Amino acid sequence: MKSTILKTASNYLLPILLLFSIFILLRGHYHPGGGFVGGLIAAIAFVLHSFTNGTDATLKLLRIHPSSLIPVGLGLAALSMAAPMLLGKPAMTGLWFDEPFPVVGMIGSALFFDLGVYFVVIGVVLTILFTISQYSE
């Protein structure tokens, strides 16, 4: 789309939206939000960028193809699921650090699970949309 305003805006919106998506992801445990919505917002950020700069430019910016985020996310979620088993607890037992971390807050296995969901959602949405847009070009 050839709109200068949108193009300029999208360049600034991309980092802000990404930051926002991470914020949504992190606050999910205490307030509305979470990995799924966060992932969708991050995906929208990239889609907006690809709208104005073309899919190829976004793919270049990403460096890796979004489809490779899917196995990363699945692996992360699976690992956080299986991690408690190493400590002799049933799978999916929540493991938490005792003290909260600065900025992030409490860190536990559920957070990594959510991070896995986040990556899978970005990967799936971008893979589908970019494939369709490349097909329609």
For residues 41 and 90, the answer to whether their CB atoms sit within 8 Å is no
In whole angstroms, the minimum distance from the beta carbon of 55 to other proteins comes to 9
30 binds other proteins (CB under 8 A): yes
Of the candidate spans 4-12, 56-64, 68-76, the one that interacts with other proteins by CB under 8 A turns out to be 68-76
- 133 contacts: CB under 8 Å, gap ≥ 6: 50, 55
Binding-site size, other proteins (CB under 8 A)? 47
Looking at residue 90, what DSSP letter applies? P
105 pairs with which residues across the strands? 101
In the set 10, 26, 28, 49, which binds other proteins (CB under 8 A)?
A: 28
47 binds other proteins (CB under 8 A): yes
Q: Is 105 left (phi over 0), alpha (psi -120 to 50) or beta?
A: left
Torsion over CA: 127, 132, 133, 137 (sign): positive
Q: Which residues bind other proteins (CB under 8 A)?
A: 24, 28-37, 40-41, 43-44, 47, 51, 67, 70, 73-74, 77-78, 81, 92, 94, 96, 106, 108, 110, 113-114, 116-117, 120-121, 123-125, 127-129, 131-133, 135-136
